[in-house]
Amino acid sequence: MYNKYSTIVTVYPNRVVQRKKKRTNRILEIIEPPFHGTQVPIRNVQAFAPLPREVRDLLATCLVRLGKIGFPKAIQKLRANPDISLESLMNKIATTSSTKTSQEGKVSPEDTVVLEGYITKCYPDMESISMHAIASSDAMTEAGELIAVLRKFSASNHSRSDFVNVVLYAILYESLEKHINNIKGIPAFVQAVQKTGLPWK
């Protein structure tokens, strides 16, 4: 049986969410540095927008390097210590994350060391304590697993097969193209890559 009130109940919350998203995107569009619309949760925008430019810069850099941050916790630490350095802030965020969901059992110490080498290559000025914390954080789990997969392939007898190598090349090439396009879609990511001196097209 048709119930007009059930229709209203179903549709109205969706409209509210859409309005909140639009309002959030408008706020994010007028602040600097520019943030991708999905990177700042709606519930944190009101606390994020009034922050000083230098604080937002710090959060933007943390987001670029870590891929994901807890905005409430980061904002709380910045309010308590406005002069905190980038490395110290990332270290606190990464350490908090790793104590809850560390890579233990997921990525071997051997592969974590390789991952630390890549972090150092990209960010040679990063403090070692921050680098170790970030390498072991949940944010870098997939990167560590990718290193592990490539290491296992290199040590496998399958790496001697031209057929397997061709297919793997196709996978990596297409994945790289997609990854580059994803980076190009977010100006902050492009700037971060360019600052490292890595080849960029």
Q: What is the DSSP letter of 157?
A: G
Residue 90: what pLDDT? 76
Taking the C-alpha atoms of residue 24 and residue 46, their distance in angstroms, rounded to an integer, is: 9
Q: Count Cβ neighbours within 10 Å for each residue of 22-60 and write b for 16 or more, e otherwise.
A: eebbebbeebeeebeeebbeeeebeebeebeeebbebbb
Residue 131: what pLDDT? 81
- Do the beta carbons of residue 24 and residue 37 sit within 8 Å? yes
**Helices 86-100 and 128-135: crossing angle, nearest 10°?**
30
Residue 83: what pLDDT? 80
Residue 166: what pLDDT? 96
Phi, psi of 197 (to 5 degrees): 85, 5
pTM exceeds 0.75: no
Q: Please state, in angstroms and as integers, the Cα–Cα distance from residue 97 to each residue in 13, 29, 138, following that order.
A: 32, 29, 6
Residue 14: what pLDDT? 64
Q: Which residues of the chain have pLDDT under 50?
A: 1-12, 36-38, 95-105
Residue 101: what pLDDT? 43
